[in-house]
Amino acid sequence: MPMVDIDWLKDHVEVPEDLTYEQLAKDLVKVGLEEEEIHASQVTGSIVVGYVVDATPEPQKNGKIINWCHVDVGEQYNAVDEDGNKVPRGIICGAPNMAAGEKVVVTLPGAVLPGDFKIEPRKTYGHISDGMCASERELGLGDSHDGIILLREYGFSEAEYEALKPGDDAMHLLHLDQPFWRLTSLLIVDMPSHIAAWPGEYHHSTGAAYTDPVIALNEQTPVVTGLEPGTPTDIEVSIEDNAPIHGVPGCDRYYARVIRGVDASAHTPNAMRRRLTRAGMRSLSLAVDVTNYVMLDLGQPMHAFDLDKLEGPIVVRRANEGETLTTLDGKDHKLDPEDLVITDSPNGEHGSRILAIAGVMGGLYGEVTEETTNILLESAHFDQVTVARSARRHKIPSEASRRFERGVDTQLQPAAAQMAVNLLEQLAGGTPSEHPTDINMTSRRLPIHFKANEVSRVAGLDVDVNTVSNILSDIGCTVAGGGNGEFSITAPTWRPDLNEPCDLVEEIARLVGYDEIPVTVPPAPVHGHVGLTPEQAYRRRVAQELAEFGMDETLSYPFVGDEDFKAFGYDKDEVAPISVEVANPLAGDRPYLRRSILLTLAQTVQRNLRRGVENVSLYELGHVYLWDPQAPAIPALPGGVRPTDEQLKALDAGLPEQPMHVAGILTGLAEQTGWLGDQRAVDWSDAVEAVNRIGERLGASLKLDQPQSENVPVQWHPGRAAKVLSAGVEVGMVGELHPRVNEALGLPEHSAAFELNLSALFSTLDAKPVQAKAISTFPLVRQDLAFTAPKSLSAEALKQAIVEASGDMLEHIELFDVFEGEQLGEANRSLAFAVTFRAQDKTLDSQDTEAIRAAIVQRAETLGATLRA
């Protein structure tokens, strides 16, 4: 995360002497900065320069080598020995770059580093470590944690370095006491990606005097237009893009400027180095640091070449099939014909040697080295899409490519080059060339037709025509017209994000202040459905009912893989082709989306069991995803245009079906052991009860249809699983998981489960209001009917027969007893039902009851069940 010293702002804008960072934060939040981005110094306590007197490597059992060091931290902070003499402090340091003779940064006991990291003397590796030698990351200075800070490498001149004495205040030396900001906004398109823009924003927010640094730089830039033909320039450049993407040339401006005779041994000054480091950039060589510094400050990415290694002309072109480049980071890249490359022409071979992937990263050849004295600075404008695709393709998102992707000012190039040569001249001598090359094919920006009342129509903000004009002028727009409330606005080249009227509305609203927008509430809409849809209401009932039934609701990621298929006994070759497969899964072993919630719910059950939770009974409502290998392809269509009806159909026709399901897994004890009675383990009946309760809560009459064991799906117990039907439509399964599944998942024996397709179930329901029956006040008649029935006859079938034979007199029926015994015969069992009858219009007499009873008995006999005496 880039971090910026607040003092950088002061380079460009006048700020009050006593400006606190809290006030600055407030000022910038108003125009779009995130409050959390500005931080006070997070470092307190004594942090000083230390001189490493000795460092003894001590190999450890774990293979690590640590250094037992003595560090001189000055008279005031040094340790005291037994004789009362001041001696260097003993410090343990594991950094590979620790060595005697280095000047380092020592955080002394009592110091507190970012993240509330308190420094205290502590016993480690057999010594008392009486302080810590710090890395950049530990101090919140940057991201580097490869080793400790060696001040020798920290951009001090020789004299400055010599002057550093043990015990010097490093807090001030490294600006650790300054507030800084963490610029996440760099990643957002609309937000300025360069420091110099923030002073501008500060100006917009507070009205503080602001000078655009570009104006002064442009004044210093040598004139290149209107020169005599044949005037020599720094280097010949040719832009030859024969394959623009979306019709946009890969490069529409290439500005090159030379500086000769720089001191190759010059170092980057401490202040610049510190700003670079905090911004997350490693300090390399002066030339590279200067180009990076200009990029951070102005937003123009640049590249520095060793002029003496190049042979003109420079050719900007697309790569050819088969070309390769080894980039600065040492990685080899096979180039794609879409990549835009910077080449030169050795031995007269035009554009034959590739120097860089344009706007992304340079190659090894042509780089600035420790011997380079003549430098060619490239300050170009590359196409957003071309750079973005190359950075993505080669997986090298660089600071430069990120800026090009977001759009760079088309007129900034000469000023950026000027700033770079100014800095190099100042820091390393040298003579800037007065003959830069400038191939400029950038086009003028088109004016935007803008009605002032758009601001109130869209933003709800009443602003007058003058305010509109003033604000747009202030951000650099050319404003014309305005008499009738209509303007012709030309946005400045450094605001590539301003293209449409709505962009201007945002600018005006932002700079007037979003806080100034009034607050209203739109009236409730007149049209459309009111309340939840029946499906949405049903879903809540299901979720609520299962919790009330005693299960715990959970959510799981819908990703599954081979391991899950295997545990549930699926054949991967059958399931994978009908599953949605993610092209870039996070977990390579779970690339598919579930077709059944049970697969992912089981993972959650396992996690709970592994953590020692007992009697886990979970349920989940969620989608499953059914891939159709025959589904038609989905077209790629442009945005901003309504597709035709056919195209809209095609968009949906290729999507997988994604019904809403509910699934539950019940394990362990259904009832606990206690003084009240014995425990009862979960079995199929608990899952059936859960399903029944869902049905009852929805007003659905769910029926179970138990298939022959050979027809039961593999994941279910062949004798203890049934299909769930609603209005004759199959909507799910319920029962015990197959013992092999329970074993594979590590679930207790007889763990039970259910899964219902709620989309299917809900569609069988009649969403109309319940039509109430009249309540009869006539007396009821209760009869117990016990049948001897073949075991093959399901209780449900017999019950159904009784219900049908009873007619509308039936009020209630319940199975109250089941038993098997010798007297019934091997193939039979007894099923006893309690049945109550009641008539709407009279008291039932014995004759009526007899008639119903006879009908029931007769009907039961057709199923092979006989009434027991």
Partner 1 sequence: MKTERLLVAQSAVFDAQAVSAAVSEGIELIEKASSMEALKSIRTRYAGADSAMTQASKAIGALPADQKKDAGKLMGKLRAEFGRAFAAKEEQVKAAEEAAALAAQTVDMTMPVHRKPLGSRHPLPKLLENVEDFFISMGWQISEGPEVESEWYDFDALNFGPDHPARQMQDTFYVKGNQAKDAAGFVGSNMVLRTQTSSDQVRALLTHGVPLYIASPGRVFRTDELDATHTPVFHQCEALAVDKNLTMADLKGVLDKLAVAMFGPEAKSRLRPSYFPFTEPSAELDLWFPDKKGGPGWIEWGGCGMVNPNVLKSAGLDPEEYTGFAFGVGMERTLLLRHDINDMHDLVEGDVRFSKQFVMGE
Q: Judge whether 838 and 778 are in contact, CB under 8 Å.
A: yes
Scanning residues 27 to 66, which ones bind partner 1 (CB under 8 A)?
29, 31-32, 34-36
92 burial (CB, 10 Å; 0-12 / 13-18 / 19+) is: buried
Q: Which of 140, 192, 366, 622 binds partner 1 (CB under 8 A)?
A: 622
Q: Which of 59, 247, 588, 674 binds partner 1 (CB under 8 A)?
A: 674
Q: How many Å apart are CA 747 and CA 666, to the nearest integer?
A: 9
Q: How far is the CB of 555 from partner 1 (least distance, A)?
A: 6
Binding segment for partner 1 (CB under 8 A), chosen from 174-182, 226-234, 301-309, 520-528, is 520-528
The secondary element (H helix, E strand) that includes residue 763 is helix 758-763
323-327: Cβ within 8 A, 24+ apart: 323/354, 325/354, 325/356, 325/357, 325/363, 326/363, 326/364, 327/357, 327/361, 327/362, 327/363, 327/364, 327/394, 327/396
Any known ligand binding at 850?
Answer: no
Q: How many Å apart are CA 251 and CA 239, to the nearest integer?
A: 7
The single residue listed with the structure tokens 């690590």 is: 64
Q: How many Å apart are CA 438 and CA 445, to the nearest integer?
A: 19
SS3 833: strand
SS3 796: helix
Scanning residues 189 to 248, which ones bind partner 1 (CB under 8 A)?
189-191
Q: Which of 552, 562, 796, 848 binds partner 1 (CB under 8 A)?
A: 552
Binding segment for partner 1 (CB under 8 A), chosen from 2-10, 136-144, 349-357, 600-608, is 600-608
Q: Which of 8, 210, 487, 549 binds partner 1 (CB under 8 A)?
A: 549
Scanning residues 556 to 585, which ones bind partner 1 (CB under 8 A)?
556-558, 580-585
Q: Residues with Cβ < 8 Å from 317, sequence gap 6 or more?
A: 239, 240, 241, 242, 340, 341, 343, 351
Q: Strands 617-623 and 552-553: what pairing? A: parallel
- By CB under 8 A, residue 456 contacts partner 1: yes
The single residue listed with the structure tokens 């500060």 is: 202
- By CB under 8 A, residue 1 contacts partner 1: no
Q: How many Å apart are CA 123 and CA 176, to the nearest integer?
A: 28
| Interaction mask 393-432, partner 1, x per CB under 8 A | x-----------x---------------------------
Any known ligand binding at 766?
Answer: no
DSSP states along 312-370:
SPEEEEEPPTT-EEEBTTS-EEE--TT-EEEEE-GGG-TT-EEEEETTTEEBSTTB--T
Binding segment for partner 1 (CB under 8 A), chosen from 89-97, 316-324, 608-616, 806-814, is 608-616
Any known ligand binding at 497?
Answer: yes
Q: Which of 150, 543, 803, 810 binds partner 1 (CB under 8 A)?
A: 543
Instruction: Quickly count: other Cβ atoms within 10 Å of residue 28's Cβ.
Output: 23
- By CB under 8 A, residue 528 contacts partner 1: yes
DSSP states along 524-557:
PPSSS--S--HHHHHHHHHHHHHHHTT-EE----
Any known ligand binding at 72?
Answer: no
Q: What phi, psi does 856 have (nearest 5°)? A: -65, -50
Scanning residues 633 to 662, which ones bind partner 1 (CB under 8 A)?
633-643, 648, 651-652, 654-656, 658
Q: How far is the CB of 610 from partner 1 (least distance, A)?
A: 10
- By CB under 8 A, residue 607 contacts partner 1: yes
| Interaction mask 476-515, partner 1, x per CB under 8 A | ---------------------x--x-xx-xx--xx---xx
Q: How far is the CB of 640 from partner 1 (least distance, A)?
A: 4
- By CB under 8 A, residue 123 contacts partner 1: no
Q: How far is the CB of 440 from partner 1 (least distance, A)?
A: 24
Q: Which of 40, 271, 555, 827 binds partner 1 (CB under 8 A)?
A: 555
Residues in binding contact with partner 1, number by CB under 8 A:
113
| Interaction mask 687-726, partner 1, x per CB under 8 A | ----------------------------------------
Annotated binding site for Mg(2+): 497, 503, 506-507
Binding site, by residue number, is: 497, 503, 506-507
